[in-house]
Amino acid sequence: MPPRSKDTNLVLLLSVALLGWLIPGAGHFLIKERARGIIIFVAIVLTFAIGLYIGSVAVVNPVTGKIAYAAQIMNSPFVAVIGRITIDNHYEVFGKPNEIGQIYTSIAGLLNLLCIVNAVYLAHLRKTQPAGA
Amino acid sequence: MSFITTGIMANLITPERIGVTGLSMLWLLPLSLSIAVVYKATKVKEIRAVNFIRESVVLFGSIVVFMAVIALALFALAWLVT
């Protein structure tokens, strides 16, 4: 039945997107693109970790760094926990470490958004194109 | 174990000291590499080690060279104006 198949496709696409957001690269892993998934996971987690190393957890600040936070949250919903820790403990960072740390963590988030879109696109192509096409 | 955990935690709540010097520009290199690797991971049709590394390195080199050219052009413009 076509409507059921369409629903299944939508569920798959949503699962790929959600998993890719929860853990960078997991969306690709779900559609059996394991090598891509591992490369994406390592690259994005390392980029985010370097950002935290340079600027400390204070670079993730939902109050004073709203624009950067919007990009940072694309890494994973767990970034919200770091934001909570920053606010609760009043961690602050200024100057170059803040700038560079925010750039690293924000770009990691935007790269993960690119990967989520790519994983969803690949999942959609596989569902709509016949095998071997 | 607790020593390692304490070390990691200390690093995560203490920012690095980065001066306003030309050397701080070197921090763009790991970021450019990461962008090149992730972009190529989404673009190449099939992931094969040699091909993937070559394409990533080419993109990384292109980003660095292009930024260096822009930096030189802006430096020259600033020198002419001031």
Digit-coded pLDDT (tens) for A96-118? 888 999 999 999 999 999 999 99
pLDDT higher than threshold 80 for residue A131 = no
Put simply, whether A125 touches B (Cβ < 8 Å) is no
Interchain pair B13, A58: CB under 8 A: yes
Instruction: Report chain B residues whose CB lies below 8 A from the CB of A56.
Output: 11-15
Q: Average pLDDT, stretch A52-62?
A: 90
Put simply, whether A111 touches B (Cβ < 8 Å) is yes
pLDDT higher than threshold 70 for residue A75 = yes
Q: Provide the pLDDT for residue B23.
A: 83
Q: Average pLDDT, stretch A40-45?
A: 96
Put simply, whether A83 touches B (Cβ < 8 Å) is no
Q: How far is it, in rounded angstroms, from Cα A61 to Cα A71? A: 12
Interchain pair B42, A97: CB under 8 A: no
Interchain pair A115, B27: CB under 8 A: no
**Token pair for A131:** 């095998």
Interchain pair A43, B30: CB under 8 A: no
Q: Provide the pLDDT for residue A114.
A: 97
User: Which band of pLDDT confidence, cut at 50, 70 and 90, is reported for residue A56?
Assistant: confident
- How far does the CA of residue B53 sit from the closest CA of chain A (Å)? 11
Put simply, whether B27 touches A (Cβ < 8 Å) is yes
Q: Provide the pLDDT for residue B31.
A: 96
Residues of chain B with pLDDT under 50: none
**Token pair for A112:** 């993960």
Q: Average pLDDT, stretch A33-47?
A: 95
Nearest CA to A124 among A4, A21, A27? A27
B17 compared with A30, residue with greater pLDDT = A30
Interface mutation target, options A42, A56, A60, A88, chain B, most CBs of B under 10 Å: A56
pLDDT higher than threshold 70 for residue A3 = no
Put simply, whether B50 touches A (Cβ < 8 Å) is no
- How far does the CA of residue A23 sit from the closest CA of chain B (Å)? 15
User: Which band of pLDDT confidence, cut at 50, 70 and 90, is reported for residue A130?
Assistant: low
Q: Provide the pLDDT for residue B24.
A: 84
Instruction: Report chain A residues whose CB lies below 8 A from the CB of B20.
Output: 95-96
Nearest CA to B33 among B49, B55, B11? B55
Contact partners, residue B56, CB within 8 Å, separation at least 6: B33, B36, B37, B40
Q: Provide the pLDDT for residue B16.
A: 80
Q: How far is it, in rounded angstroms, from Cα B48 to Cα A107? A: 25
Put simply, whether B13 touches A (Cβ < 8 Å) is yes
ipTM of the complex: 0.88
